[in-house]
Amino acid sequence: MIALVSEFNPVDEFTNFVNNPYVNLPLGLDINKAVVYLWLSALLAVGGTLLVVRRGLALRPDGKQTALESVYEVAEQQIARQGLPEEGMRIWFPYVATAFVFVWAMNVVGFLPLPVSDEHIDLWGLDIPQFQIYAATANLSVTLTLTLVTIIASHVEGIRYNGVIPYFRSWVPAGTPKPMLVILVPVEVLSQFVRVISLSVRLFANLLAGHLVIAVFLGLAGLVTGSAIFYLIQPFGLAMGIAIYTLEITLIAALQAFIFATLSAIYIGGAIHPDH
């Protein structure tokens, strides 16, 4: 007889921490799990870069400098220059590159097992938190905030380079018959809001889904007991969990950061030169 532990709910790890912050602060500024992961990601993104740069760059780079230069080249050539015009590079390349590195760091940190769980285990008489994986980008508030920075920046630059009326007029193709404006104007306005949803939800949903799939496969082995089929399901769940974990931390973490930064560059660049 197969027994399932009904209390197991992977989603709880991504929701319960909101009501159980580490430090309670007014105005909703609590220090909770998501905030700690944001700090760790910022420390990795900034500290890792400074660690290489501050010790000096060599003409014959070692492995660390080569990796850093590769990230810089991807951020400049494959992300920024593909979406930003030349006049926008000076101001917005640093933002796009930072978004790429920061989101990538958040995604990677999200797959490192850390002792931040609300549940504890007894280890040699010590009550320590369980190790778990959690990503700040699996929190919609985080991805939505990052998205709003991009969207607001795109409108600010669009107005700054083109003027208020020409910029908003560029949302509708030139020469559009006036009767069609009744349809096109609401559609274009709606498309701007869809950008907010698509950019934030894409990153949020992909990271959350990846973590949940890993949790389900790894939890499958521990939840199924009391039957011979357990000896088949346990290795399968473990193997699939490890395979998906490897895929997520090596490919998906970087890919989602690349997509977010690329779309940010495209939105800002498109606002600067809406006619293109």
Label residue 74 by pLDDT band (50, 70, 90): very high
pLDDT of residue 4: 43
* pLDDT at 51 > cutoff 50: yes
- The amino acid at residue 73 is E
* pLDDT at 276 > cutoff 60: no
Token pair of 270 as six digits: 């498109």
Token pair of 234 as six digits: 């346990």
Q: What is the mean pLDDT of the chain?
A: 84
> Which is more confidently placed, 39 or 9?
39
* pLDDT at 168 > cutoff 70: yes
| 175 HSE (CA, 13 A, CB side) | 0
Label residue 1 by pLDDT band (50, 70, 90): very low
262 vs 253: CA distance, rounded Å? 14
> Which is more confidently placed, 180 or 156?
156
pTM of the model: 0.85
Q: Please check whether residue 36 is in contact with residue 139, taking contact to mean a CB–CB distance below 8 angstroms.
A: no
* pLDDT at 19 > cutoff 80: no
> Which is more confidently placed, 78 or 32?
78
pLDDT of residue 263: 95
223 vs 216: CA distance, rounded Å? 10
* pLDDT at 268 > cutoff 90: yes
Place of tokens 């015009």: 85
Token pair of 26 as six digits: 């007014």
Mean pLDDT of 54-67: 78
Enumerate the β-bridge partners of residue 79. Answer: none
Mean pLDDT of 97-118: 89
| 11 HSE (CA, 13 A, CB side) | 1
Of 32-46, 60-74, 108-122, 218-232, which gets the smallest average pLDDT? 218-232
Give the pairing type, strands 126-129 and 120-123.
antiparallel
Q: Please check whether residue 144 is in contact with residue 118, taking contact to mean a CB–CB distance below 8 angstroms.
A: no
The beta strands (E) that lie in 70-202 are given as 120-123, 126-129
- The amino acid at residue 201 is V
Mean pLDDT of 184-194: 89
Provide the phi-psi class of 28: left if phi over 0, else alpha when psi is between -120 and 50, else beta. left
| 69 HSE (CA, 13 A, CB side) | 10
Mean pLDDT of 78-88: 93
Question: Structural domain boundaries of the chain?
Answer: 10-272
* pLDDT at 7 > cutoff 60: no
Q: Please check whether residue 75 is in contact with residue 100, taking contact to mean a CB–CB distance below 8 angstroms.
A: yes
Query: Which is nearest to 132 in space by CA: 214, 76, 187?
Result: 214
pLDDT of residue 126: 72
**Which tens digit of pLDDT belongs to each residue from 131-164?**
788 889 988 889 999 999 999 999 999 999 999 9
Helix (H, G, I), strand (E, B), or coil: what is residue 177?
coil
* pLDDT at 36 > cutoff 70: yes
Mean pLDDT of 160-179: 85
Going from the C-alpha of 10 to that of each of 85, 208, 213, 216, the distances in angstroms are: 44, 10, 9, 7
- Rg from Cα positions in the chain: 23
Burial 73-111 (b: 16+ CB within 10 A, else e): ebbbeebbbebbeeebbeebbebbbebbbbbbbbbbbbb
